[in-house]
């Protein structure tokens, strides 16, 4: 009987952790920049990669 209660508590805790992490991640925003020079210098300072997106409607 204790095993069943322990599993329910563990499952409830797991659901709580997943919900909390999901809610926290949903508030993160992408910091867009239109200046290539500024983005490259910031990436060099922080050691993070950048993603460049190009678009045209030729």
Residue 5 has, within 13 A of its CA and on its CB side, a CA count of: 2
**pLDDT tens across 4-28, in order?**
888 888 888 888 888 777 666 666 6
Tokens matching residue 42: 């910031």
Structurally, the chain folds into a number of domains equal to 1
Q: Give dist(CA 26, CA 20) in Å, integer.
A: 10
Residue 48 has, within 13 A of its CA and on its CB side, a CA count of: 7
CB 17 within 8 A of CB 23: no
pLDDT of the residue at 45:
95
Range of the domain at 13: 2-46
Please state whether the predicted TM-score (pTM) of the whole model is above 0.75: no
Flag whether 52 is in a domain. no
Percent of the chain scored above 70 by pLDDT? 84
Flag whether 54 is in a domain. no
Percent of the chain scored above 90 by pLDDT? 17
Flag whether 53 is in a domain. no
Flag whether 57 is in a domain. no
Q: Give dist(CA 2, CA 24) in Å, integer.
A: 33
């Amino acid at each position: 009987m204790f095993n069943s209660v322990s599993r329910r508590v563990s499952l409830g805790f797991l659901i709580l952790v997943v919900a909390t992490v999901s809610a926290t991640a949903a508030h993160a925003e992408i910091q867009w920049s239109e200046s290539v020079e500024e983005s490259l210098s910031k990436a060099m300072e922080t050691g993070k990669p950048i993603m460049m997106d190009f678009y045209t409607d030729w």
